[in-house]
Amino acid sequence: MRTLSCRLLLGVTLSIFLVSSSWAQKLYATGESVKELFSVDMTTGAVTPLASLTGRPDSLIVDSSGRILFTTGGSAGTVSRFDPSTGLVSLVASGLSYPRDLIFDPGQASILVSNFGLGQIVRVNLGTGTVTPLISKLGTVDGLTYDAAGHLFAVVYHHKQVIQIDPSSGAILKTLTVITNPPYGWYGLDGLTYDSYTGQLWVADDGSGTDCASGANCLVEIPTDLSSFTFFQAGTIPSPDGIISDGKGNLFVGAGAAVALEYNIPSDTVVKTVKVPSIDDVALVPVI
């Protein structure tokens, strides 16, 4: 496990380049309570509505064609697709229970969705809309991610654990408990991403006042062997939720139902925030 001092050393030589180059990033974001999808320019601070929705969007991802797939919560939850080039929204799958995070399987022919209401991870065929459970009885499921080697990870069991799962059989391979005390309600681990720059997993922890190292919300770095964890930015990021890496030393976070936030890993610094109404999750706009 790297230490903060290692990061600061890296920051001396790399942070100026990484921070300045990352500001060219553009994001998509979900505005949950306002029922909107947004584009967010982290350089100019411009926030542009993209689509008004009938349901409350939670999480989103972007396919290789630049189309946004997003979940809409509720007991009759859905996965839908928005095409920014046409402005059209189409239904991909229905009948889910409070769906939250989603990720592409390798090849993008299917996605995995955290079916939060039933404590499941389900696979959705993007061609047919067929929903197939991969694993159940997880208590709750939030963040999902694959690492560079194709290993699948998820945040489960009431926001307290990260597990590695066989993406074919659904078998649990490894387990790491990050939060040992029961969090309050929705609080605890949430969004999850793999960062190729550090080769580690990163998790957003919406602290309940008793979770992080300093008793507050934070970011959590976890090696892919699930051997340990380290807290960063304890108490400085209100209600971190969705999280994504650009692979260049920067994480982007939907935080506090108010801002999109950019965190530079080498310097351990929040370098940019942009106000976004009711933000929940963020995704990078691809260069196509």
For position 287, what pLDDT does the model report? 78
pTM attached to this predicted model: 0.90
Position 21 pLDDT exceeds 50: no
pLDDT at 68 > cutoff 60: yes
Q: Give the separation between CA 236 and CA 233, rounded to whole angstroms.
A: 6
Q: pLDDT for 179-231, tens place per residue?
A: 877 666 668 899 999 999 999 999 999 887 667 877 788 999 999 999 999 99
- Identify whether the C-beta of residue 124 lies closer than 8 Å to the C-beta of residue 114: no
Q: Tell me: the pLDDT tens digits for 101-157?
A: 999 999 999 999 999 999 999 999 999 999 999 999 999 999 999 999 999 999 999
- The three-state secondary structure class of 11 is helix
Number of CB atoms found within 10 A of residue 32's CB: 23
Query: Between these two residues, 76 and 256, which has the higher pLDDT value?
Result: 76
CATH superfamily of 4-284: TolB, C-terminal domain (2.120.10.30)
Strand partners, 253: 243, 261
Task: Please give the span between the terminal C-alpha atoms of the chain, in angstroms, as a whole number.
Answer: 35
What is the mean predicted confidence (pLDDT) over 17-41? 77
Integer Cα distance of 223 and 54 in angstroms: 39
pLDDT tens digit sequence for 250-275: 999 999 779 999 999 999 999 999 99
Q: How far apart are CA 242 and CA 240, in angstroms?
A: 7
The residues, ordered by sequence, that sit 6+ positions from 257 with a Cβ below 8 Å of its Cβ are 32, 33, 239, 278, 279, 280
Which pLDDT score, from 0 to 100, does residue 83 have? Answer: 98
Among 11, 44, 245, 109, residue whose Cα is nearest residue 253: 245
